């Protein structure tokens, strides 16, 4: 560990404004200069290890995952704002609740949500303005948020509550990012009352969800949506999930479920708008399936190239662009000996663009994910994380994105005035704006 190339606290402080705005260029420069693994001496606390080494990442996420748990950045700091659900918990608490929630995202269960999903997407796409350049990122955010909302609370009039919940989650996320990237200002965030104000907003969000849950229970309806599945799930002793825990799980489904999908769809549409030949191949495929089929889930496997377009966008712009883990006990990973309590940051963004593993890594090539080539990519591709903690809603998100992309490509030809997007890495990787021109087919 001591022999690793190390970035000094002085260098971090000198680049603090760049890091606060967007740390990815700073990461790239140092990976190119220092190699696939290096240390960073942060302003407060012990040094942090950054890596894009595929062997180390596979070891941490898969081979010896039991020795690596989520850091306090998630289990404490993020949990203050979005609760102690499966995204922010660890150990036995995580295992118990993961087992309870997993069945809700089984393929057969998701099939019952497809009508809701498709109808919601179609309704949101009416917000597209043909013939003029518009920023599609807010539209994709609204679309993904409404899909999660309707999948959880089917049949409810929740527009007002969901709009406020969306505002709360986005504002609190920006507050947390400031706390994480400017730890030397935490005293000011507390003294000025900003942390207190945002924690109060988080409680407001929980109250909104509690009202909706109370309304569902009082209605005595069981519409077989995601909320119904969570309400009927039971611990091994037969008891239901406590209300606070249920609200935390629902809040995390909103936060993680809509945000990553909105980001991925926006990036995919931008890439397609800049690659007309790929867009035309996609158009031919989406026109060949029956979008009015009663059993839409049986039609979706025919959208193989559509899925590849999304998978390649997730490679270039992984929503979870960095994964944090802390060693429980001393461990050897690759050529390194990690002491106990070492914070390791796994750069998925850099791994996905490494010249060691990808030919022309900066290029958009959906053919990389053709079925006969895809199996060789598993050790260097982590769009939804990896190992036992892989995103529980990855199938839900992929189906949603395939439907949304298919409906858009079938109706519109896309153009973009931008070749490169400005990135906004918060808890997940976001674009600043995504201007697209829609031409009706």
The reported pLDDT for the residue numbered 35 is 95
Q: The whole model's pTM is what?
A: 0.91
Which DSSP letter does residue 339 get? P
Query: How far is the C-alpha of 230 from the C-alpha of 212, rounded, in Å?
Result: 14
> Reduced to 3 states, what is the DSSP secondary structure of residue 327?
strand
User: What is the percent of the chain where pLDDT is above 90?
Assistant: 56
- Tell me which of 85 and 57 has the higher pLDDT: 57
pLDDT digits (tens, 9 = 90+) for 338-393: 999 999 999 999 999 999 999 999 999 999 999 888 777 888 999 999 999 998 88
Reference 167, options 78, 262, 263, 255; nearest CA is: 255
User: What is the percent of the chain where pLDDT is above 70?
Assistant: 99
Give, to the nearest 10 degrees, the angle between helix 394-411 and helix 137-152. 130
- Tell me which of 23 and 335 has the higher pLDDT: 23
Handedness of CA 2, 4, 8, 12 (dihedral sign): negative
Domains located in the chain, CATH noted: 6-440 (1.10.630.10)
> Reduced to 3 states, what is the DSSP secondary structure of residue 340?
coil
Locate 401 and state its tokens. 């994105």
pLDDT digits (tens, 9 = 90+) for 237-272: 999 999 999 999 988 888 887 889 999 999 999 999
Is residue 298 within 8 A of residue 329, CB to CB? The reply is no
DSSP character string of 92-135: HHHHHHHHHHGGGGSHHHHHTTHHHHHHHHHHHGGG--TTSEEE
Contacts of 17 (CB under 8 A, 6+ apart): none
pLDDT digits (tens, 9 = 90+) for 74-100: 888 888 888 898 989 988 999 999 998
The backbone torsions φ and ψ at residue 259, rounded to the nearest 5 degrees and listed phi first, read: -70, -50
């Amino acid at each position: 560990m001591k022999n690793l190339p190390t970035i000094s606290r002085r260098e971090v402080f000198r680049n603090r404004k760049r890091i606060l705005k967007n740390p990815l260029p700073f990461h790239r420069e140092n990976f190119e200069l220092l190699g696939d693994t290096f240390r960073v001496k942060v302003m407060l606390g012990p040094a942090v290890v950054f890596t894009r080494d595929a062997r180390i990442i596979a070891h941490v996420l898969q081979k010896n995952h039991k020795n690596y748990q989520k850091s306090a950045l998630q289990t404490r700091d993020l949990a203050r704002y979005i609760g102690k659900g499966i995204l922010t918990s660890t150990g036995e608490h995580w295992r118990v609740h993961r087992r309870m929630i997993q069945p809700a995202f089984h393929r057969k269960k998701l099939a019952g949500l497809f009508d809701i999903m498709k109808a919601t997407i179609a309704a949101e796409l009416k917000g597209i303005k043909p013939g003029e350049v518009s920023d599609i990122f807010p539209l994709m955010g609204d679309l993904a948020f409404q899909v999660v909302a309707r999948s959880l609370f089917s049949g409810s009039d929740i527009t007002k509550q969901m709009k406020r919940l969306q505002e709360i989650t986005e504002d609190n996320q920006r507050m947390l990012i400031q706390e994480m990237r400017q730890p030397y200002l935490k005293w000011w965030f507390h003294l000025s009352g900003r942390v207190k104000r945002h924690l109060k907003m988080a409680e407001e969000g929980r109250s909104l969800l509690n009202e909706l849950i109370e309304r569902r229970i009082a209605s005595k309806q069981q519409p077989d949506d995601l909320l119904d599945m969570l309400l009927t799930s039971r611990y091994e002793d037969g008891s239901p999930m406590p209300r606070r825990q249920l609200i935390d799980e629902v809040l995390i489904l909103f936060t993680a479920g809509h945000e990553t999908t909105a980001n991925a769809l926006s990036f995919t549409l931008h890439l397609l708008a800049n690659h007309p030949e790929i867009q035309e191949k996609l158009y031919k495929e989406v026109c060949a399936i029956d979008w009015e089929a009663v059993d839409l889930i049986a039609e979706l496997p025919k959208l193989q190239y559509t899925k590849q377009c999304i998978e390649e966008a997730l490679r270039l712009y992984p929503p979870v662009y960095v994964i944090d883990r802390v060693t429980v006990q001393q461990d050897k990973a690759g050529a390194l000996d990690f002491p106990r309590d070492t914070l390791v940051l796994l750069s998925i963004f850099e791994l996905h663009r490494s010249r060691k593993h990808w030919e022309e890594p900066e290029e958009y090539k959906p053919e990389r994910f053709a079925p006969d080539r895809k199996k060789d990519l598993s050790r260097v591709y982590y769009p939804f994380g990896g190992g036992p903690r892989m995103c529980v809603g990855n199938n839900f998100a992929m189906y949603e994105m395939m439907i949304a992309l298919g409906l858009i490509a079938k109706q519109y030809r896309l153009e973009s005035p931008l070749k490169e997007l400005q990135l906004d890495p918060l808890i997940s990787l976001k674009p600043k704006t995504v201007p697209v021109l829609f031409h009706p087919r």
